[in-house]
């Protein structure tokens, strides 16, 4: 496979689920955020970024998400009720992406921004995890209050979050399974090498 610096960054990115409390320097966080803003969009106002670095706010958001998530079913209840469970894994930065609901593909727009931020973070030595978990906080009775607190404009729906920080865990081992049986080639293409 052809490789270069960008492809190496993409291929080596893995979700991190334990973070040091150390903050991310401002210029690095700005580069990650602006990489998210540089992603493809339907219109410039089709997504909105809420950048949370307030430890207390992240804890409250995580607890609210846990409480709502546990209502979803046995699987979530079992996972989230484990002692000390924190679905934001101690990350010092949580960015919530909200999509403008007047844009039909607002969730796709948010996804594009999230992925850019994950790659940018990896390239800058910052660990990350794409997380739906914090969005559970917007499922319940407190949804409107959270929407206000995170200054998410009316008409925008929280779609996804990215957790950012410095890793406190050993790098995870890549699963080769992700490359198997997921591609069909037509015409002159080669078959998958893996």
Q: Which residues bind ligand FMN (CB under 6 A)?
A: 14-15, 17, 129-133, 172
Minimum distance between the CB of residue 127 and ligand FMN, rounded to whole angstroms?
11
Measured CA to CA in angstroms, residue 65 lies from 87, 157, 173 at distances of 8, 15, 28
Nearer to ligand FMN, 176 or 188 (CB): 176
Sequence-separated (6 or more) residues with CB below 8 Å from residue 25: none
How is the beta sheet containing 127-131 ordered, strand by strand?
A: 47-52, 93-100, 156-165, 127-131
Question: C-beta of 187: minimal distance to ligand FMN in Å?
Answer: 29
User: Between residues 17 and 157, which has the closer beta carbon with respect to ligand FMN?
Assistant: 17
CB 163 to ligand FMN: min, Å: 8
State the residue for tokens 């794409």: 130
Nearest distance from residue 193's CB to ligand FMN, in Å? 19
The closest of 120, 86, 87, 109 to 156, measured between CA atoms, is 109
Structure tokens at 110: 């948010």
Nearer to ligand FMN, 177 or 188 (CB): 177
From CA 147, how far away is CA 98, in angstroms rounded?
10
Query: What residues have CB less than 8 Å from 11, skipping those under 6 apart?
Result: 3
In the complex, least distance from residue 129 CB atom to ligand FMN, rounded to whole angstroms: 5
In this complex, which beta carbon is closest to ligand FMN, that of residue 118 or of residue 152?
118
By C-beta, is 132 or 192 nearer to ligand FMN?
Answer: 132
């Amino acid at each position: 496979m052809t490789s270069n610096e960008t492809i190496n960054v993409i291929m080596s990115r893995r979700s991190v689920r334990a973070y040091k409390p150390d903050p991310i320097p401002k210029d690095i966080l700005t580069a990650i955020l602006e990489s998210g803003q540089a992603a493809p969009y339907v219109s410039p106002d089709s997504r909105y970024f809420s950048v949370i670095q307030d430890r207390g706010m992240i804890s409250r958001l995580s607890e609210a998400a846990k409480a709502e998530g546990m209502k979803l079913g046995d699987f979530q209840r079992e996972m989230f009720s484990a002692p000390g469970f924190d679905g934001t894994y101690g990350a010092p930065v949580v960015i919530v992406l909200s999509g403008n609901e007047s844009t039909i593909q607002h969730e796709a727009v948010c996804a594009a921004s999230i992925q850019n931020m994950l790659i940018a973070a990896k390239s800058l030595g910052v660990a990350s995890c794409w997380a739906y978990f914090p969005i559970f906080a917007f499922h319940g009775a407190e949804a409107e209050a959270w929407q206000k607190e995170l200054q998410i404009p009316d008409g925008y729906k929280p779609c996804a979050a990215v957790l950012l920080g410095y890793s406190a865990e050993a790098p995870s081992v890549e699963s080769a399974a992700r490359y198997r049986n997921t591609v069909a080639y037509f015409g002159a293409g080669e078959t998958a090498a893996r």
